[in-house]
Amino acid sequence: MLASHCLCTNLRRAARGVSRHYDGALDGFGINVAQYSLLCNLQRLDQPSISSLADAMGLDRSTLGRNLRVLEGEGLVRLVEGDDLRNRLVLLTDAGKERLAAALPAWEAAQQKLIDKLGVEKRETLLALLDELA
């Protein structure tokens, strides 16, 4: 791999490596790390609108919409009309909750492996730095 001093290049390279790590852990559950994150956020937010979910995840609505259609097709989420007919709500289905619960131990193991690699102090520093950049 070519060395680079470019922050963007190195962050993107690291993000791809971390995504591969988590995707490998989630292999066999029928979801990738982006979908797992989306399902987790749905569980935390409890029936958010598409707009509020996009804001919470830092995604644009079109990217979120594409991801939601895949999960909806698999029966893991359901889109329903909100109070305002222009506003759709996203619900985590029972199948989505079950898939999330089944994948949680694999995700936790992947998380712990990275924490063990970095150490707790570096993990906290990394999270703080990433928060500054976000």
Instruction: Please state, in angstroms and rounded to a whole number, the distance separating the CA atoms of residues 36 and 30.
Output: 10
Q: List domains and CATH numbers for the chain.
A: 14-132 (1.10.10.10)
3-state DSSP assignment of residue 16: helix
pLDDT in tens, 50-62: 999 999 999 998 9
pLDDT at 16 over 90: yes
pLDDT of residue 84: 73
pLDDT value of position 85: 66
Q: Which helix (H) or strand (E) holds 81?
A: strand 77-81
- The pTM (predicted TM-score) of the whole model is 0.87
Over residues 70-127, the pLDDT tens digits come to 999 999 999 998 777 678 899 999 999 999 999 999 999 999 999 999 999 999 999 9
